[in-house]
Amino acid sequence: MEPLTWTGNMGDVLDPILGITAIALLLTSVLAIVMSFATTTERVTVNPDGTIAAQPGLRGLTAKAQVYSLYAFLATVVAYIVTGMVVGWQGGGIVGGAMQAFTPVWISLVVLFVASFYYKRKLGLYGKLFDSTIGMIGFGLVMFWVFTAFYAGIFDMIYMHDPLTQVSGMKNKVPGTPMPDVDAAPYPFYLLGGDNLARDVFSRMVLGSTIVMQIAPLATLFAFMVGITLGLPAGYYGGKLDTVLSFMANLILAFPVILLFYLLVTPEIVLTGLPNYMALILFIFPLIFVGVLINSRYRTQPKTRNLYLGIAMAVGGLIYLSLVMDQGAPKPIFRLWPGGLDLFDIPGQVLIVFVSVVFVNSPTVFRIVRGLTLDIKTRDYVAAAQTRGETPWYIMLWEILPNARGPLIVDFCLRIGYTTILLGTLGFFGLGLPPESPDWGTTINDGRRLLSVFPHPAIVPAVALLSLVLGLNLLADGLREESLRD
């Protein structure tokens, strides 16, 4: 069987169009930059009805040409995706095979965007996001990897080979190389080649997204729960409480992040059970936050409060104990919870990375929440709530926190990006996750040793990591832009 080309038969038509549109976009962008430094005088004309109109001039025509070039380029990219979904690797080569593999992701994105556009006026800040081009692009990139992780992790779709299986003869093979035994293989090609251990680079990239999506958003959410629960009272009450909590936050921030991770993942430290003790403390904050939130909201309705609080504490307590209790933990105290009631089992190394990320991010979130609280607590509506006799926690959670949501949502998106980079850095240094893990950082570290000879095993996960972080940053910019309009 012959190796695959990048675009196959569809490239005979689409490759020249892509080249022309790319050159046009580059030229118009350069011209637009040059024209931005030039001083041009717009020509004013008087319409028959007496109104005055300004003609766009050369600068306006350049901007319009740039927009049309961008639309043409994006239309060509969409043509690659649609054609690849139809013809697959048989007529579309490597690109066609990859586009066909991502078919459920493309369908999900189309459904999501169509529904979001239709109901955007009813969806608050999320709906306003679709008024921002930058926000939409970022949201699309992020949701691409979210859907990829969902379909690959839950339904075993998209990837073609086991990411840990080594196939004889496929070591460091270039993209599009056919399998030695086509009949015995589940898929006849390594679309993006093989790595130094003869594993499929494409499948490892896809499965790597599941690890990133499992750890980065959840770890960031837990860090926000810790930071909000401590930052609100520190900023609202001030005094000694603020001094003590700020000192502790500054103490943690004073440590270099990588050195802190080295200390936490050292085998001698792990055997002491320190990560498990940290999980015992850090994971209780979401439970505290939810409990205080419900109690402050329904404090005047005891029956409703007790019902909601009981349900939340029962479910949250079960999840909490399942998180912190580990039958393989080095200390007996973490094996007290019956295995039959353990809803899920987090691998020890994943727990260490998760706890470390929460521990590192929490002080920064604390400082942001504290600063916002110091500013918002001086507003008139907070004074009005105090005059009504509202409790301090009600004011913090239902008056101050909602009015701080804009900066916090933006920071949440950015912090997921930072966490993703941090996970990649940890994998690159071989910390935390097992060496055979397909996470992007570990894969980049494995591929960098032969980067000058076989670059594809390192470039593929690096581009995936770049696209996700870029999408998160663009999404944060879009949310910031829309929140400032309110």
Arithmetic mean of pLDDT, 65-85 = 91
Calpha distance 355→439 (Å, rounded) = 17
Q: Structure tokens of 316?
A: 């949250």
Least confident of 38-42, 246-250, 278-282, 447-451: 38-42
Q: What is the pLDDT of residues 245-256, one digit of tens each?
A: 999 999 888 877
Q: What is the pLDDT of residues 359-398, one digit of tens each?
A: 888 999 999 999 999 999 989 888 998 888 888 999 999 9
Maximum mean pLDDT: which of 112-121, 223-232, 412-421: 223-232
How much of the chain exceeds pLDDT 90, in percent? 33
Q: In the chain, where are the structural domains located?
A: 1-38+55-101, 207-485
**Burial (CB count within 10 angstroms: exposed 0-12, middle 13-18, buried 19+), residue 349:** middle
Q: What is the pLDDT of residues 191-217, one digit of tens each?
A: 898 888 889 999 999 998 998 888 888
Average pLDDT of the chain, as a whole number: 84
pLDDT at 164: 86
pLDDT at 18: 92
Residue 233, pLDDT > 90, answer: yes
114 against 40, higher pLDDT: 114
Least confident of 36-40, 132-136, 168-172: 36-40
Least confident of 286-290, 309-313, 424-428, 477-481: 424-428
Residue 156, pLDDT > 80, answer: yes
pLDDT at 95: 92
Q: Between helices 201-237 and 133-155, what is the axis angle to 10°?
A: 120
Q: What's the CATH class of domain 207-485?
A: mainly alpha
Residue 185 — very low, low, confident or very high, per pLDDT cuts 50/70/90?
A: low
Contact 165, 159 (CB under 8 A): no
Continuous segment of H or E residues that includes residue 166: none
Least confident of 25-29, 289-293, 425-429: 425-429
pLDDT at 418: 83
pLDDT at 33: 84
Least confident of 36-45, 54-63, 72-81, 105-114: 36-45
